[in-house]
A and B are shown apart, each in its own frame.
Chain A
Amino acid sequence: MSTPVVQLRDIRKTYRNGDLEVHAVRGISLDIQIGEFIAIMGASGSGKSTLMNTLGCLDRPTSGEYLLDGVNVADLERSARADLRNQKLGFVFQGFNLLARTTALENVELPMLYAPRRVSGEEMKRRAMAALDIVGLGKRFDHLPSQLSGGQQQRVAIARALVNEPRLLLADEPTGNLDSKTSVEVMGVFQRLNEQGITIVMVTHELDIASYCKRILVVRDGLVVRDEPVQNRMIASEQLAKLHSAEAEAKLTTTAPAA
């Protein structure tokens, strides 16, 4: 078996709020293998956000070891972590976080502009278009976020996260701002990416969204209290097909009397 993408060894994070010490994460150890699709669940204040920020190299743990791709990244300084985020990690946020008044294409190009090695203009455009094609938005490359629906915006954000071919895709409540049907569509995109071998970790508090993943971690009081594979895993494409037929039926029944 190859090296896990992520190896956490007794990660602890303590915030100091005046004289008060807050133990947000109290010793989490975790291995994430290539090709996994993990949902992290937990109430607010459980430490799941801190765990995500640590996985995303946005925050440094107070103690413990974090091996990303076999390299210890727990003690790296700010700009080295920035390069790591750029090259090895992709982020998808709840609020999409696209740059306003900026086309889908330019949004997707953004990570390449911050790449440690310069990427030529044509190369940038080619890769950004390829990423947009993956999420099915190749034709809308010149649209502004305001001209796209929530689901489409989130797909642009996913394309942006993919464009530097990260080792790990991190999604923080990616469906939190979306209606249920669009949520299923977005989960479908994640499932397709996962089938192509991309490792995904997402935070969610919705159990039905978590059931599209392969493994669920439940975090409480800074510790992982449950870690189990998903039973009765849902497949987004099947759910969508069900939704469509339900919609079609609804249409038939509502339009029938008028006819």
Chain B
Amino acid sequence: MRLLATTIIALRALRRNKLRSALTALGIIIGVAGVIATVAIGNGAKVQVESQIASLGRNVVTIFPGSFSSGGARGGFGSASTLTIDDMEAIRRDVADIVAISPEVSDRNQVLANGLNWSTQVRGVSPEYLSVRAWDTDTGTMFSDQDLRSAAKVCVIGATIVKQLFPNSDPLGQTIRIRNIPFIIRGVLESKGFNFFGQDQDDTIMVPYTTHMRRLNRRTTVSTILIESASPAVMPRIQQDTTDLLTQRRRGREPDFTVRNQLELAQTATATARIMTLLLGSVAGVSLFVGGIGIMNIMLVSVTERTREIGIRLAIGAHDRDIRVQFLIEAMVLSVLGGIAGVLLGTGLSQALSSVTGWAVLVSTNAVLISVGISAFVGIVFGFYPAHKAAKLDPIEALRFE
């Protein structure tokens, strides 16, 4: 087979015209770099969203009070105060596959400690809350079930509180005053950073919900109930069982609650990220296509410009097929090399973008393989017509060409 010889010929031809080769490949380089960079940004966004959603907790099913479907004047989502501790205990008792469950009541309070003050969110929760939120203490411990039962004046605080109120001292065992009631600090939570909505999750104080409901704001209802499911698979069932149970407990009244599971949120968020990736990717794909047309364009010009060369080759014994294969190999080498250069450029570009903007980027192996594959394909498709045109030249005419 003469493939080896033809490959040598094609590579020599490319080497002879370095500038033209580089310009031809440029379209593909930019196209592939665009695909790689945009997909990397899209993937990075998706991974970031996923990790932020994971930081909300493990397999969480959340029950909100109020409902979209309440008749008459509608107070809006979460405006009603209809969820009770009894509801929570009923769910704990009757719904299977629950690992942990906690209510959440919260309000903002000015808190004092160490001669400093700070306004923060004070939450009443159960000790299981940390498990639900996939959270843990950094130092000290979470308050206990005993504290819960006795409505003890104890708390755990977030990292931001430590920074604001205890800049130079160990907060463990110290007293913090909430509504002028002294609370003993049992533990400091590990830092969780900002959440999906841009809130500082460390700017919080947790107290037993009993203490919160009896001593701080004297409520009988809770803001939300959070359930940790045994696995993602059982989440829809827990959601359904909880809905059924609460509906039954309301004995035919309009349902005044909404049950959501984390998967729904995750799906919405990742769907958004996926649409963004798709959008950016298709724009980059168009530029890859345009790059392919660029290759065809320059290859066509090159066939005309090299008519005499083709004539010489035909005269000294090249078959039509040799010429066709030579031009195809040239187009393919250009597009594959362009593809590889594009991958490097795109990777560099996304790293640079990441360090400048702080966006998460993720260069995926799939995107790399697919875009190099596509550029090779583009080379064959757009190289074919010029190659065919070159192979069909008449040697006598071609040699006479000036």
Contact = CB atoms under 8 A, between A and B. Distances in A.
Nearest to A110: B316
Most chain B CB inside 10 Å of its own CB: which residue of A93, A110, A113: A113
Contacts of B313: 110, 114
Interface in A62-102: 78-79, 82-83, 85-87, 91, 93, 97, 99-102
Interface string B1-38: 01011101100100011000000000000000000000
B318 A101 contact: no
B71 interface: no
Contacts, number: 65
Contacts of B322: 114
Contacts of A101: 16-17
A246 interface: no
Interface size, B (range): 20 to 34
B321 A114 contact: no
Interface in A201-219: none
B396 interface: yes
A56 interface: yes
B396 A114 contact: no
A115 interface: yes
Interface in B384-399: 395-396, 399
Contact of A111 (B6, B309, B317): B317
B308 interface: yes
B12 A102 contact: yes
Contact of B320 (A78, A106, A110): A78
Contacts of B2: 113-114, 118
A58 interface: yes
B316 A111 contact: yes
Interface in B283-333: 308-309, 311-322
B16 A86 contact: no
Given A97-B308, A113-B5, A118-B2, A79 B319 contact: yes
B320 A79 contact: yes
A59 B5 CA distance: 26
B316 A160 contact: yes
A118 B5 contact: yes
Interface residues of A, number: 27
Contacts of A78: 319-320
Nearest to B322: A114
Contact of B316 (A86, A100, A106): A86
A83 B317 contact: yes
Nearest to A50: B396
Which of A56, A106, A114, A160 is most buried by chain B, counting CB atoms within 10 A of its CB?
A114
Given A58-B396, A113-B9, A118-B5, A99 B315 contact: no
Given A99-B309, A102-B12, A102-B16, A118 B4 contact: yes
A82 B317 contact: yes
A53 interface: yes
A58 B16 CA distance: 27
A100 B317 contact: no
B311 to A, nearest CB: 8
Contact of B312 (A83, A97, A118): A97
A160 B37 CA distance: 49
Nearest to A144: B16
Nearest to B6: A113
A130 to B, nearest CB: 18
Contacts of A86: 316-317
Contacts of B320: 78-79
A118 B4 CA distance: 9
Nearest to B321: A79
A179 to B, nearest CB: 22
Given A82-B317, A86-B317, A114-B313, 11 more contacts: A53-B396, A58-B395, A79-B319, A79-B320, A99-B16, A99-B309, A106-B12, A110-B312, A113-B6, A118-B5, A164-B317
24 contacts: A53-B396, A56-B315, A58-B396, A82-B317, A83-B319, A85-B316, A86-B316, A93-B399, A97-B311, A97-B399, A102-B12, A106-B12, A110-B312, A111-B317, A113-B2, A113-B9, A114-B5, A114-B316, A114-B319, A114-B322, A118-B4, A118-B5, A160-B316, A164-B317
